[in-house]
Chain A
Amino acid sequence: MKSSAGLQFKTFALIFIMIIFGPMGDVLLSKGMKQVGAISNFTPANLPLLFSAVFSIGAIWLGISSLLTFFIAYTLVLSWADYSFVQPASAIAYGIVALLGYFVLGEVVTPTRWIGVLIICLGVLMVGHTPPRTTEHS
């Protein structure tokens, strides 16, 4: 009983970490890239300059760290929890990113975009309610 409660706590703690760190990573990357400015020159000669500009910004490194934290939590939780149980977290993440963009970065989000985000969340949830494995064990 105790171990079952422990497992449940561990699962929800890691899903919570995923829901927080995934969207936060995207928002931090966005904040960092806004500091770099709109990239218009994609020529190979410009790439080293672009590379050093991008990776000299703290928000980019924080974003990468957040996404790594998300990835580690996701990998760990999938080692014992069902994919179909964990996957809805990625559906919620689309909504959270839009909310963070609106409240933290002050982005303008039109009603059509909110409806679109909601439908995407529903679509991702629906994808998650299908069998996670359809091929034979090798």
Chain B
Amino acid sequence: MLREVVLLLTIVVAGTGGELCLTRAMKTIGEVQDFRPLSLLHVFWRALQVGWMWVALLLMTTGFFALLAMLSLENVSFVVPVTALSYAAGALGGKFFLGEQVAPLRWAGVLLVCIGVTLVWIGKG
């Protein structure tokens, strides 16, 4: 039980942290307007010069391996729905790390996700 909780928290915190760092890195790069393969390679190369991108890659890799470990222990119909908890972490991270304004409707959605995750966890039997 404790192992599952630690793995879920790792998936949620590392995965969401990775996406937040990725967002921060891509905001440093600026809006991508040219989608030709060579230009995209150039964008990718520029992104690799940003420190946040490396933090993002490290965190997202950690999250992926935690997901694999959790899938070795539990059913996919349990694991994937409970990882929706990342919407709560994303809303909190967006507000406090990226300075986004989180609309009341989004908080309501996050609350529903949390209720759903609780039910899925209870339904584990």
- Chain A interface residues (CB < 8 Å from chain B): 23, 26-27, 29-30, 33-34, 36-40, 42, 54, 60, 79, 93-94, 97-98, 100-102, 105, 107-131, 134-135, 137-138
Contact = CB atoms under 8 A, between A and B. Distances in A.
Contacts of A37: 72
Interface in B98-125: 98-103, 105-106, 108-125
Contact of A113 (B35, B69, B78): B78
- Centre residue among A42, A105, A109, A134 by max chain B CB count within 10 A: A134
The size class of the interface chain B forms with chain A is 35 or more
A101 B84 CA distance: 17
B112 A126 contact: yes
Contact of B100 (A30, A40, A120, A135): A135
A124 B103 contact: no
Contact of A107 (B77, B109, B114): B77
22 contacts: A33-B69, A54-B68, A94-B80, A107-B76, A109-B77, A112-B123, A114-B123, A116-B81, A116-B115, A116-B117, A116-B121, A116-B122, A117-B116, A119-B115, A120-B84, A123-B113, A123-B115, A126-B109, A126-B112, A130-B102, A130-B105, A134-B103
B111 to A, nearest CB: 7
Query: Is the contact region of chain B dominated by helix, strand, or loop, or is it mixed?
Result: helix
Interface of B: 3, 27, 30-32, 35, 67-69, 71-73, 75-81, 84, 87, 91, 98-103, 105-106, 108-125
